Amino acid sequence: MKSETRVAVIGGGVVGASVLYHLTKAGWKDVLLIERAELTSGSTWHAAGGMHTVNGDPNVAKLQQYTIELYKEIEQISGQSCGVHITGGLMLAGTRERLDWLKMAKARGRYLGMDLEIISVDEAARLFPLMDKKHFKGAMYDPIEGHVDPYGVTHAYAKSAQLGGAEIVRHTRVTDLKARSDGSWDVITDHGNVHAEYVVNAAGLWAREVGRMVGIELPILAMEHQYLITGDMAELKGKKEQLHCIDFEGELYTRQERGGMLLGTYEKAGVPWSPIETPWDFGQDLLANDLERIAPSLEVAFEHFPALGDAGIRKVVNGPFTFAPDGNPLVGPVKGLKNFWVACGVMAGFSQGGGVGLALSRWLIDGDPGADIWGMDVARYGDWTTLAYTNAKVRENYSRRFSIRFPNEELQATRPLRTTPIYEKLQAANAVFGDYCGLEHSLWFAPDAQSAKDEFSFHRSNDFPHIAAECDAVKNSVGLLEISNYGKFEVKGPGAADWLSRVMANRVPAVGRIALTPMLNERGKLIGDFTMCRVAPEHFLLIGTYAAETYYLRWFERHLPGAGVSIRPCAMEYVGLSIAGPNSRALLQELVRDDLSTAAFPFLSFRRMEIGMVQGYVGRVSFTGELGFEIWVTTDYQRALYDLLVSAGRKYDLRPFGGRALNCMRVEKSFGTWTREYRPIYGPFEAALGRFVDFKKEEFIGRAGAMEEKRAGGALRLLSFKLETKDADALGDEPIWHDGRVVGWVTSGAFGHRVNHSLALGYVPAVLAGATSGFEIEIIGERYPAQPLSEAAYDAKGLRMRT
Ligand SMILES: Cc1cc2nc3c(=O)[nH]c(=O)nc-3n(C[C@H](O)[C@H](O)[C@H](O)COP(=O)(O)OP(=O)(O)OC[C@H]3O[C@@H](n4cnc5c(N)ncnc54)[C@H](O)[C@@H]3O)c2cc1C
């Protein structure tokens, strides 16, 4: 083994091998892969090798498409067969809701260029005669599904990487990692040490243990997974290879394996493997079979596919593989550690391994993954993901792998975990709660405790009239919303203003003022949006999306100067309440001595105030588009503040409202939000945030890119649409059609109760930005006319929030 390398990749499973290949492909030759045993000695060797393009996150779906297309390339370079079988695949729907879900998946696939088709049960049975039609209502056909040989794929990546200059050492275990002061690493192994500029943790089943070597607890857990292979079946003799098939209601997948069928299941009672520590002596081993555990799924399988029940079992495989809490990979540089990267938690290595390798190599070499990979970014998780949290969420995710997640369905594992001081008070007001980063927050309020629950649906549901009443209260009187679930950062120091001016695109506000600002990366693309509040000359409060806290901190860390600025995340130190509506000023004025008139405290003002006996920051701003105030207090004051506002609010008919009403109102105002309208694939002018980019500043990150976008006009444009729908609204990710062609996608949708019609926000090509007709949006398989709006649907001039 060499003693110096630019990149040390730990782990020779399919993911590590792909990372290594992509680094060499991008031109980095001085790279080394270190493998404890033989290549594939983790989950890779016993995988079923299935691959498909469908994923709930369209950006991850794109990387899956890339992975499948890559196999030809690595076969050609390496001469190693990947054993690719493209059979095509069926997803079978046993219920109406599942068929709706498939129609939505098909629609989402349209703008990704996927050739998916909804077919009848008869057509499905013609393609897959093993199924018993009576259990199904329809199916989706995907021509690009199939399976590969896990050994072949891993070795094809590895050989291609070696031909590109990489070195691979086997039978060498990394036992420790020591950081040097310049950010490089001493990689300690049982066969000598190597000094590496970068380390990539691709240790699969042991990624958690390798993380612990550098003091982090990665949110991953391995689950036992079983599949069986039947004996040879007469039904398959002399026939074309069977399609891959997923039976959602049976929670199983099946495909042909030689003369029999392979049948795997994600059972409800899944079992974690090595929940605390993965043994180092586990190698190309299998776990003991437990057919009892999957018996309920097998019963369904033999009912739905009767011939399988008669075929006998030739072999059972039980092996572990790792998951993150949401089932998507963990990729990227780790906050707080210099030059330490991860590529782990990959539960579908043969669909995703190529995409993971591509994104990581680009990111490491160019400083940018080159695609929107928020869905797999390791920074989407924060400090709340303890070992026990991860355990509960991974088990839940495993048990729901083939379950429908309705848009209004909140998952239940781990809850309630994090609560604010007013949680019980909101509960007493019949709040229906959602979970955001492990924190409970109210979604809507029911009239009584019995009806305080969601009826899951893709259509408008039981919350609809109550959300309407909440929006009405905000429009006509005053509403109260808890806003604790935002990320907050305190920025202080003599260099704070200059630093913020460089990191944020808008101008730094004066003391006592707020500026709304995008944050751009070096290419001028959106990587955040913030409310920047100036408390004092050298003291700022930044408010942004909580889920992106780690993501933001990683970026801030990279750009902080050595001295003069300190930044501190303080999301849960400041909890908040917002009041919004025409009576919000009168209400608050009863509690504070400061003059709240527009002349004395205009829109976008920010000041420390005493609200009764409570001390806090008051900002004159509201995401609802109404006159409104956001009040931030330390946790100890929140109960008192809530009681004060509720009691003073009685005479104004103050009504609590939740996150769903807020979403309706921000869509009416065409206000975007991070991960929906604002993501790193969009520029500020495309996202209609151009007015928040201050080119008078001579320098800020992304200035040149944003300037070029402004000059050239950008490729996309965010538009608001008025929709003529029946009983369902757009949710996000639906295709936007224009003159019979799919031209874009929806980012958010909602019913606008204040304007009394359905609305959607979405991106279309910039050349269509001026088109006034011809648009349609597809919702659950039906296309509805969509009228582009030249301005926000509600109070376009913004007079209500400014008066
Ligand atoms: C039963 C079963 C069926 C599956 N079916 C499918 C399927 O159909 N389709 C699909 O896409 N996926 C499937 N998978 C999942 C798939 O196996 C994983 O997604 C994939 O193997 C993950 O690869 P990896 O490289 O991340 O991890 P691993 O395969 O676990 O590789 C990690 C490697 O790192 C090495 N290593 C760890 N620590 C060290 C260290 N300290 N020093 C040196 N080396 C180290 C290990 O020896 C190992 O070789 C299945 C898994 C199982 C168990």
Which residue of 1, 55, 206, 209 sits with most ligand 1 atoms within 8 Å of its CB, as the best mutation to test the pocket?
206
Which residue of 177, 224, 321, 331 sits with most ligand 1 atoms within 8 Å of its CB, as the best mutation to test the pocket?
321
Q: What whole-number distance in Å separates Cα of residue 588 and Cα of residue 647?
A: 11
Which residue, among 257, 232, 402, 227, has the nearest Cα to 307 in the 3D structure?
A: 232
Residue 257 CA to ligand 1 centre (angstroms): 21
Give the residue, by CA position, lying nearest to ligand 1 atom 31.
13
Residue 204 CA to ligand 1 centre (angstroms): 5
Q: Which stretches does DSSP call E strand in 446-538?
A: 479-482, 486-492, 514-520, 526-536
CB 443 within 8 A of CB 659: yes
Model-level pTM? 0.96
Residue 186 CA to ligand 1 centre (angstroms): 25
Token readout for 460 is 């408008």
How many other CB atoms are found less than 10 A from the CB of residue 632?
27
Residue 206 CA to ligand 1 centre (angstroms): 9
Ligand 1 atom nearest the C-alpha of 44 is: 21
Which residue of 43, 225, 277 sits with most ligand 1 atoms within 8 Å of its CB, as the best mutation to test the pocket?
43
Helix (H, G, I), strand (E, B) or coil at 195: strand
Residue 44 CA to ligand 1 centre (angstroms): 4
Residue 259 CA to ligand 1 centre (angstroms): 26
Q: Where are the alpha helices (DSSP H) in 3-50?
A: 14-25
Q: What whole-number distance in Å separates Cα of residue 545 and Cα of residue 28?
A: 35
- Is the backbone of residue 416 left (phi > 0), alpha (psi -120 to 50) or beta? beta
705-755: pLDDT as tens digits = 999 999 999 999 999 999 999 899 999 999 999 999 999 999 999 999 999
Return the H-helix or E-strand segment holding 645. helix 638-649
663-715: pLDDT as tens digits = 999 999 999 999 999 999 999 999 999 999 999 999 999 999 999 999 999 99
Ligand 1 atom nearest the C-alpha of 172 is: 43
Give the residue, by CA position, lying nearest to ligand 1 atom 52.
47
Residue 13 CA to ligand 1 centre (angstroms): 5
Mean pLDDT by 10 residues, the chain (803 residues): 97 98 98 98 94 85 92 98 96 95 90 91 97 97 95 98 98 98 98 98 98 98 97 96 94 95 94 97 90 93 95 96 97 97 97 97 94 94 96 97 94 98 98 97 98 96 98 98 98 98 98 98 96 98 97 96 95 97 98 98 98 98 97 98 98 98 98 95 97 97 98 97 95 96 97 98 97 96 96 97 94
Residues 6+ apart with CB under 8 A from 505: 517, 518, 519, 520, 684, 692, 693, 694, 700, 702, 703, 706
